[in-house]
Structure 1
Amino acid sequence: MDKIKLLQTRRSKVLEAGSEIRKTISELVDADSFVELSGYSFSKNEFYGEDAEGEGVVTGFATVEGYPVYVAAQNIKVMSGGVSKANCEKILKCLTLAEKNSTPVVYILNSLGVQVGEGVTVLEGLASVLAKSARLHGVVPQFTIVKGEVYGQAALFTANADFNFFLKEGVLAANSPLVISAKSGKNLPKEEVGGAKALDKTNLVSFTAENMAEIRSKIFKIIDLLPDYNSVVVENGADLNRANAKLNQQCSSDELVKAVFDAESFVEVGNAYSPEVKCILGRVGGVSVAAVVFDGEEGTELDQYNMAKINWFLEFAAYYSLPFISFADTLSVAANTCVNNSLVLKQISKFMENFELLENAKISVVYKKAVGMGYTLFAAKSMGYDYTLAFANAKIALFDSVAGAEIELAADGRTREKLAEKYADENSDPVNAAKDGYIDDIIEPQFVKQYLIAALQMLLK
């Protein structure tokens, strides 16, 4: 037997079966950087009577703009990307190496489910690899790319991951969309069951993307911000003394983000889910930070969804030792029966627990409102903020209005005059909070970046 020819034959089969997915990987990683793991993985699927060259998954390591990553890519061309025990073993080996080498992981997902011929054996394989992925949460950054249809237990990779990218053809569902649609009494196309727009209540859609180049750019930008892989402070040419006079006239959340973060340094994560809360990773004066910017029309009321989004982001900041900044425009918990009968209080409790995990700088900027519970969680010194600022035109109060105070306190006519005096606008400005030492400084909005840079330089760990 000519072993060289046998090797060449086997390799050609593997390459033929995985030509499309290897092209996708090449678009994601640096040129000629991908090194495959377990490339000669063959097994027989007795149910279908087929050989599974590559086991329906390609794994290996590479670099993205010079940063090492491990890659596990499901190959839809081999048995519809069907998950098998050997498939899981390949991914598990990849994840074990990622943990050992403290290297980020990128999953490229495209699978219609499990290979049914393996029975319970494949479930054991799934348990091993999903458990490993869950244990890596907070240990190394994990990214998923929903390249096409992803059904069944493979969808759990997106829940374990830190960031999920959906290409336009991406569809994600824990069950077949046909089954979900039928059991819901509807006849929906798969995109309306598991497409990115359909999953706006899941917090699983971190980004939508047109192509792999866009994904590559964002993965690089995120890794580049993390202290585990780059310096928490970099010289990026940012003007550390630049003021933005526009903020004194108008301070929308978008204007604030552009003014505070260094140009081209930041990304917003999950803008389709609870868009009234912007979760931003970026640099301020060259310093990596995680920031929550509230963006409600008249202040952001808290509910189970936006608090869950904040909790996820706060956990990520804690895991990777990022300074945290809250830009507050927050009210109390939304006053309606749906929110009252929800997990909102559990989520708020979880927030306070997660806040304690933050070991780096914790800064609050009240740029519009901090009222009631919104002040307690996102501006109060006693919550544990190291430094608190308020814009001169901000509002800090127990209640948002006199009418709110009347309703809350069930005031009668004899006390309304006193309430009107107590909760008048001039008594809700940040000066009153500053008098008691709860606000460190009251500033003109145009100078917010300079103050933040000074605070970060002092507090950074």
Structure 2
Amino acid sequence: MSTIQDLQQVQARRQEILDGDAARVEKQKKSGKLTARERVAKLLDAKSFVELDVLVSHDGKAEGVVTGYGTVEGRPVYVLSQDYTVLGGSVGEKHARKIAKVLDLARKTGSPVVLMCDSAGARIDEGAMALEAYADIFARMARMSGVTPMIAMVLGPCVGAAALMSEMSDLTVMVKGVGAKLCAGPQVVSAVNGVNKTAEELGGAQAMLQQGGADFACESEQEAFETVRKALALLPSNNMEDAPLEAAEELNRACVGLEAGVDAKTLLAQLCDAGSVLELGAGYTKAVTALARMGGRAVALVHTGGGEICAKRAQKIARFVRFADCYNLPVVTLIDTEGLSVPKENVQSWQLKAAGQMLFAYAEATTVKLAVVTGKAIGAAYVALGGRANADVVYAWPGSVIAPMTGEAAATVLCGDELRASKGDPKEARAEIAARYEAEVADGVNAAMSGCVDDVVDPAQTRKLLIASLEMLASKRDSNPPKKHGNMPL
């Protein structure tokens, strides 16, 4: 057989794989979903995709996953897109081998990976080998964690082990009405718990967002791909690089209308470059976490959300800070909290562990850490978020309160005799003593006088000062002692 004939056969086989099963493709589209290759094309720059292992097959069929590499805004990105039209996108030995190859190449080249998950789960007819296939994928993802960014897109059913590909990634993007992430399917949940709910109700995009299992819940696949592209633009390609710089807008722009108690969205909009804020986990707890730019530089912002910090809020913050530290993103923490919440008697340990995780995340992080006390910073929460040991620069706004306890608590502990001797309304007396404590003992000026904060600043100048600090600390070099890893309180 001639080379030309060989090539013709190869091309015919490749085209057969690319065409896929017409009936299954039509069914995929009728369900409102793009095909695996259409998804890759939506994500990557036009005509940049190079597919790998296209001829790998299972019993004459394609392997149910499209793998390869391309570019996003000119930067290399590896992709894997599970193909539900082929064997339900199920994971078997060869399927896993294709994924493993892409993960290895991404690690070796220091390039991000986008995982488009749309899978029925393990390939049952392969028995134990299907489980080994998953183990091989997860082992590689664990080794890659903190080396190159991994973004999972849940674009179909992901149950059991299939859902763990999302959990092992840095960010999870889901599409309402399209993707679902579940420990067990609706039938199993119904049989075990007697709860009759759909996959969308149990593990759809909105359900996962409310449970902290997704960072983004998008209205369409198009929005999801735009979100991923925006996230990639705010991240470095790997842990040895910094995120790309962009041309900065007015560096000395004054913030307008900022005062204690300002809501998080308004505050972030004033501090960050216009249109750059990308919030993660919106609506999951009152804490706000977001990627954005300040003066053209990518940053990770944490707003504590006011009130008390509960276990969920602490864990959300801890996870985000560790993610930022992995990829050299400066962490800017905007502090307004009355401290840690007082939990019910049967969840004391959970609250303490969560607070420990938040403290550990900040203390372990070697990236640039800036903090601004915009309201209250009480007790252990301040220690974790803005204590001198856990921040490079700390600013406070006028009227801020930095203390071991709230004014109300201090009034009871420190001025019990005065309260008992008061002949007026006890509530009014307590409020008066609390206000005096916060103004005379716990205010930001006293904290600055004792060296606990660097300065008490005009809120209008906050953006300018933070950008200057980011520039000054851009060359910061810090490291932890040699060790396998710290023993984070999990």
Same fold (TM over 0.5): yes
- Does the CA contact (< 8 Å) of 2:301 and 2:334 recur in 1? yes
Change in Cα spacing, 1:63 to 1:408, as seen in structure 2 (3 Å) is farther
Report deviation, 1:391: 0.8
- Does the CA contact (< 8 Å) of 1:292 and 1:325 recur in 2? yes
- Does the CA contact (< 8 Å) of 1:387 and 1:455 recur in 2? yes
1:198 aligns with 2:207: yes
Change in Cα spacing, 1:323 to 1:140, as seen in structure 2 (3 Å) is same
The two structures have a TM-score, normalised by structure 2, of 0.85
Report deviation, 1:354: 2.4
Aligned to 1:27: 42
Aligned to 2:448: 434
Change in Cα spacing, 1:79 to 1:142, as seen in structure 2 (3 Å) is same
Tell me the alpha carbon deviations over residues 236-258 of structure 1, each in whole angstroms, 9 at most, x when there is no partner.
24111111231148722111101
* Deviates most, 383-392 or 201-210: 201-210
Which amino acid in 1 is paired with 2:141? S
Task: Indicate the SS of the match to 1:133.
Answer: helix
Aligned to 1:14: 17
Task: Indicate the SS of the match to 1:333.
Answer: coil
Which amino acid in 2 is paired with 1:171? A
Aligned to 2:358: 351
Output aligned runs, 1:292-331, within 5 Å: 292-296=302-306, 299=307, 301-331=308-338
Report deviation, 1:379: 2.1
- Does the CA contact (< 8 Å) of 1:69 and 1:106 recur in 2? yes
Tell me the alpha carbon deviations over residues 389-436 of structure 1, each in whole angstroms, 9 at most, x when there is no partner.
11113222332232x335667946667779864762422321121221
Which amino acid in 2 is paired with 1:452? L
Which amino acid in 1 is paired with 2:276? S
1:222 aligns with 2:231: yes
Tell me the alpha carbon deviations over residues 213-268 of structure 1, each in whole angstroms, 9 at most, x when there is no partner.
43333333333233457755735241111112311487221111011001122211
- Does the CA contact (< 8 Å) of 1:260 and 1:448 recur in 2? yes
Q: Report the number of matched residues.
A: 448
Task: Indicate the SS of the match to 2:85.
Answer: coil
Aligned to 1:265: 276
Q: Which of 378, 385, 388 lines up with 2:394 in the alignment?
A: 388
**RMSD over equivalenced CA pairs, Å:** 2.4
Change in Cα spacing, 1:244 to 1:414, as seen in structure 2 (3 Å) is closer
- Does the CA contact (< 8 Å) of 1:369 and 1:395 recur in 2? yes
2-structure distance, mates of 1:341, 1:410: 28
Output aligned runs, 1:14-413, within 5 Å: 14-17=17-20, 20-44=35-59, 51=60, 53-168=61-176, 169-200=178-209, 202-228=211-237, 232=243, 234-248=245-259, 251-274=262-285, 276-296=286-306, 299=307, 301-337=308-344, 340-381=347-388, 383-402=389-408, 404-405=409-410, 411=416
Change in Cα spacing, 1:367 to 1:134, as seen in structure 2 (3 Å) is same
The two structures have a TM-score, normalised by structure 1, of 0.90
2-structure distance, mates of 1:250, 1:129: 46
- Does the CA contact (< 8 Å) of 2:261 and 2:375 recur in 1? no
Q: Which runs of 5+ in 2 are unaligned?
A: 26-34, 423-428, 476-490
2-structure distance, mates of 1:407, 1:196: 46
1-structure distance, mates of 2:349, 2:446: 34
Which amino acid in 1 is paired with 2:338? L
- Does the CA contact (< 8 Å) of 1:144 and 1:161 recur in 2? yes
Which amino acid in 1 is paired with 2:439? E
Tell me the alpha carbon deviations over residues 325-357 of structure 1, each in whole angstroms, 9 at most, x when there is no partner.
110011222113167434222222233332233
- Does the CA contact (< 8 Å) of 1:247 and 1:446 recur in 2? yes
- Does the CA contact (< 8 Å) of 1:28 and 1:215 recur in 2? no
Report deviation, 1:368: 1.3
- Does the CA contact (< 8 Å) of 1:372 and 1:399 recur in 2? yes
Question: Identity over aligned residues, as a percent?
Answer: 33
